[in-house]
Amino acid sequence: MIEGSAFVAAPLGGMTLAQLGADVIRFDDIGGGLDYQRWPLAPGGQSLFWAGMNKGKRSVSVNLRSEAGRELVTGLVAKAGNLITNFPARGWLSYERMREHRPDLVMVALTGNRDGTSEVDYTVNPATGFPLASGPRNLAEPANSLMPTWDVAMGGLTATGLLAADRHRSRTGEGQLIGLALSDVAFAMVGHLGRVAEAQLGGRDQDKDGNYLYGAFGHDFATADGRRVMVVALTSRQWNALREVTGQQKAFDQIAKATGLDLDTESGRYEGRDLIAAILRPWFGARTLAELRELFDGTGVSWGPYQTFTQLVADDPRCSEASPMWETVEHPGVGSYLMPGTPLEFSGLPRQPVRRAPLLGEHTEEVLSEVLGLTTAEIGRLEQEGTVAVSVPPDR
Amino acid sequence: MIEGSAFVAAPLGGMTLAQLGADVIRFDDIGGGLDYQRWPLAPGGQSLFWAGMNKGKRSVSVNLRSEAGRELVTGLVAKAGNLITNFPARGWLSYERMREHRPDLVMVALTGNRDGTSEVDYTVNPATGFPLASGPRNLAEPANSLMPTWDVAMGGLTATGLLAADRHRSRTGEGQLIGLALSDVAFAMVGHLGRVAEAQLGGRDQDKDGNYLYGAFGHDFATADGRRVMVVALTSRQWNALREVTGQQKAFDQIAKATGLDLDTESGRYEGRDLIAAILRPWFGARTLAELRELFDGTGVSWGPYQTFTQLVADDPRCSEASPMWETVEHPGVGSYLMPGTPLEFSGLPRQPVRRAPLLGEHTEEVLSEVLGLTTAEIGRLEQEGTVAVSVPPDR
């Protein structure tokens, strides 16, 4: 599979498939694409983002402004039969042109908007409605998401769309172009979650509500040792367990009596969330995280501690080599660190070792030779004329 | 495909495939599952969430505590050959038991944690590190995400995993169990985005930084007419366009000179973000949203307006019937509203009409008859003994 990409969605789509065993060849302009310097950075300045989003791929460096470079990419696409790109799918990179060389091509073309105009996660998120309904109650500004949620959703649909079209091709012999726009991904999800219908039928917007859950009980609490936990009572089982373990049944009964709220329903717990939180706050504040863990363990209480990124890596066994998903792998020039494989556990297929991201252009020579059958002399000529780069850039 | 599910990830995985044309049959306990009352609600009290997450599926109501009900579900799974569930995959619903009736079964079993313990989006998100790095700079508390990001990522992997295993089965004849844990999905993404490596190699945590973008320039600005926009300069093209259109080149040059920052790099723009924002703030504050739209249109400036959910529905043509992704469809007892189809546009396959969610149990009779070949008399008996419900619950 060939990938011409930058940033999150397209690289994530490709990497999801690479981690399932696909041979994914990412091509980049010589010197690196738009995401080659993307933060977070390693202490030495290399992009940990790039290294994170391209694990298990092969990298080919090509001068994309040259005719000869474009022909090489076209040749790779013709051989592979699958292309994922968020580059403008026009001209030489259009589906029509690519298809001339591979009639059953499956191509996923990612765009910002359906009309081809640009949009990134951080500009479409404000339009979804979520930032204006997020953050503390008294906050005047919207609260953006640090997580590129819509890009992540788009990466998932990219992999799904490619596999669906591959399935269709295996049955009919026919390839196709799959268009996917970031704003469609985002707004469709707003609809799936019921927010479009709510706005249309109810006509009112949700107010900012801090860390409360919408439509049931959920809130964060400080602990006696300066930590913080999130507690959720979405289901009856979770609510009953929370009442029982905290021993606050009487207090909750009194709330119910005083307010007329039925706390055995999600809506009742939502309406009474401030009172519920007020009763629970001192109980949590009198206990340490370790004590809470012991009290809640094995009960039906739905809860979890807040962790910084550093605490996640230092304290949480689910993010460590104790889990088969994680391996410590060396990325040349950067160092050894924990890298995740796919979260998908296939019972019939052994887990693949976690493969690091390539260095930029690490596989140019290998791919041109293996896939396109070029000789060493031909590759040398291409390198000399600046069409490809076969050596990796020096460490910074 | 059979789906036994509740909440976001599993229903979303099933719906993603249903919107691509799969026949997805969701089974629920009589009276509805744990997500049947989930907010947001329609003015009449029905769950718009349930209606949003189950579009295009068929619904079967079965008494899941009865032997006879479990046998019916087992029969459906045996016929369909594909099962997605986030119910506890133990006992009668275990892969081993299901497989006895369908040796090449593909089953995706979603759990909270890898060890089978429970976890929901709202409890795992605090552990990822993002809430403690989100929100205004002076905010003492963590800032939760209103969007169930990890559930959405898990829904994408559910569809991808099922299609990948289906592909494997079509080549080898072998089915398999695919395990998928929510905390793995979340923490893997923290790793993919470079945050695990950053914490491990750098050893420091990111501070809360309001609505600034991490690692480049991005910020929100108030407009002259009380609206707010987000502006991003991730790439050189975006930065150059922003400088040019706002006419602030000289001011930026002066910043660069005074601070020694190279604003032509992402890191330089990130380091200088407060100064850049201070220069741009009055410029944005002197213009209305409409003026900004006109000024930015067709330039390389990356920006977008903040909208409430209501404004998204009322004002944004991308979330309207002007887009082929959206159709106004009636949900019985609730009303007509905009429903999204799949964001995936297949060039070789016509777009499917958007299908509403079923009513609970709407297809019990149809499915038992068509798929399991039961007679009307047999179905009547099952209904009488309380094993299935063939009628839909009355409107509330």
Residues A174-182, mean pLDDT to the nearest whole number: 98
The architecture CATH gives domain B2-190+323-389: 3-Layer(aba) Sandwich (3.40)
Asked if A132's CB is within 8 angstroms of B308's CB, the reply is yes
Are B61 and B49 a contacting pair, CB within 8 Å?
no
pLDDT digits (tens, 9 = 90+) for A315-342: 999 999 999 999 999 999 999 999 999 9
> Is residue A290 helix, strand or coil?
helix
Beginning with the edge strand found earlier in the chain, give each strand of the sheet holding B217-222 in spatial order: B217-222, B228-233, B302-305
Which amino acid appears at position B144 of this protein? N
Pairing between strand A345-346 and B176-181? antiparallel
Residue B265 Rama label (left phi>0; alpha psi -120 to 50; beta) = beta
- Among B28, B35, B121, B151, the active-site one is B151
- Whether B35 is catalytic is no
Are A94 and A111 a contacting pair, CB within 8 Å?
no
Phi, psi of B112 (to 5 degrees): -75, -60
Residues B100-122, mean pLDDT to the nearest whole number: 97
- Among A23, A29, A151, A184, the active-site one is A151
Are A49 and A39 a contacting pair, CB within 8 Å?
yes
Tokens 């079209």, located at residue: A165
Asked if A307's CB is within 8 angstroms of B168's CB, the reply is no
Give chain A's radius of gyration (CA, Å).
Answer: 26
CA A92 from centre of chain:
29
> Is residue A256 helix, strand or coil?
helix
Which stretches does DSSP call E strand in chain A? 2-4, 25-29, 58-62, 82-85, 106-111, 176-181, 217-222, 228-233, 302-305, 326-331, 335-340, 345-346, 388-389
List chain B residues with CB under 8 Å of A310: 129, 199, 203-205
Residues A349-374, mean pLDDT to the nearest whole number: 97
pLDDT digits (tens, 9 = 90+) for B322-360: 999 999 999 999 999 999 999 999 999 999 999 999 999
What are the start and end residues of each CATH 3.40.50.10540 domain in chain B? 2-190+323-389
CB atoms within 10 A of CB B375: 10
pLDDT, residue B206, reads 87
- Tokens standing for A278? 């007020």
CA dist B152 → A220, A323, B149, B210, B227 (Å): 22, 22, 5, 24, 29
Task: Please state, in angstroms and rounded to a whole number, the distance separating the CA atoms of residues A263 and A269.
Answer: 5
| Those residues with Cβ within 8 angstroms of residue A157's Cβ, 6 or more apart along the chain or in another chain | A13, A180, A185, B16, B156, B343, B344
| Those residues with Cβ within 8 angstroms of residue A183's Cβ, 6 or more apart along the chain or in another chain | A112, A113, A114, A119, A124, A127, B318
Chain B residue with Cα closest to A218: B122
Which amino acid appears at position A122 of this protein? Y
List chain A residues with CB under 8 Å of B213: 122
pLDDT digits (tens, 9 = 90+) for B154-164: 999 999 999 99
pLDDT digits (tens, 9 = 90+) for A250-279: 999 999 999 999 999 999 999 999 999 999
pLDDT, residue A393, reads 57
CA dist A134 → A145, B132, B315, B337 (Å): 9, 15, 20, 24
pLDDT, residue B154, reads 98
Which of B83, B122, B134 to mutate to test binding with chain A, by most A CBs within 10 Å of its CB? B122
| Those residues with Cβ within 8 angstroms of residue B2's Cβ, 6 or more apart along the chain or in another chain | B24, B25, B26, B27, B73, B76, B77, B80, B82, B83, B84
Rounded to the nearest angstrom, the minimum Cα separation between A378 and chain B is 34
Tell me what ipTM this predicted complex has. 0.98
pLDDT, residue A280, reads 98
Rounded to the nearest angstrom, the minimum Cα separation between B365 and chain A is 27
Whether the pLDDT of residue B396 is over 50: the answer is: no
Asked if B12's CB is within 8 angstroms of A191's CB, the reply is no
Pick A204 or B26 by higher pLDDT.
B26
- Tokens standing for A98? 């690519």
Average pLDDT, chain B: 97
Whether the pLDDT of residue B86 is over 60: the answer is: yes
